Amino acid sequence: MRSGDRPAPGTRRAAGGFTYLLVLFAVAALGLSLAGTGEVWRTVAQREREAELLFIGNQFRQALASYYSQSPDGTPRYPAELEDLLVDPRLPSQRRHLRRIYRDPMTQSLDWGLVRVSGRIVGVHSLSTAPTLKTAFDARDADLQGAAQYDQWVFRHVAASPATPPAPGQAPQR
């Protein structure tokens, strides 16, 4: 083609349509890629929040155990309020069983579900009803196995029952 010649009718328009389709496909592929990346990011963020919930829940569990075992009058009991874990009101000196009331990583709230027995707190759980991702737990959290929602992840301290003495002539159980 020489510089003064005109292209054949429809040639220029066909090339423009092809470029337009190519750009549309590129935008669609980019959108699908970003959607997949967003889903992966959401899953990673949820797993991080789950790990944080496990850590915080076990902090509460340890604080409840500490409060229970350090009763000054020799009668172990649990706290009436979570704030009692921050500064133990039963002791004359300041004793902290928990540094602070942690924020629930699932709801971003300071509100926790409380498990009470006889008006005393024996455990805590998240108020989130979202489905869990984690299904396998180590021995420390084995009681969380099979929970389908975060509000079913209950972090409780279970006091060891006093050992019953063996019957005469029987070896102690281990």
In a domain, 116, yes or no: yes
pLDDT of res. 9: 59
In a domain, 3, yes or no: no
pLDDT of res. 172: 42
pTM for the complete prediction?
0.72
- Between vectors from CA 155 to CA 153 and to CA 160, what angle results, nearest 5°? 135
In a domain, 168, yes or no: no
In a domain, 171, yes or no: no
In a domain, 167, yes or no: no
Residue-range definition of the domain harbouring residue 75: 18-156
Q: Residue for token digits 């409840």? A: 64
**Other beta carbons less than 10 A from residue 124's beta carbon:** 24
In a domain, 12, yes or no: no
In a domain, 64, yes or no: yes
Report mean pLDDT in 10-residue bins for the chain, 174 residues. 58 67 84 79 92 96 94 87 92 89 96 95 96 91 93 90 46 42
105 contacts 132 by C-beta, under 8 angstroms: no
Structural domain tally of the chain? 1
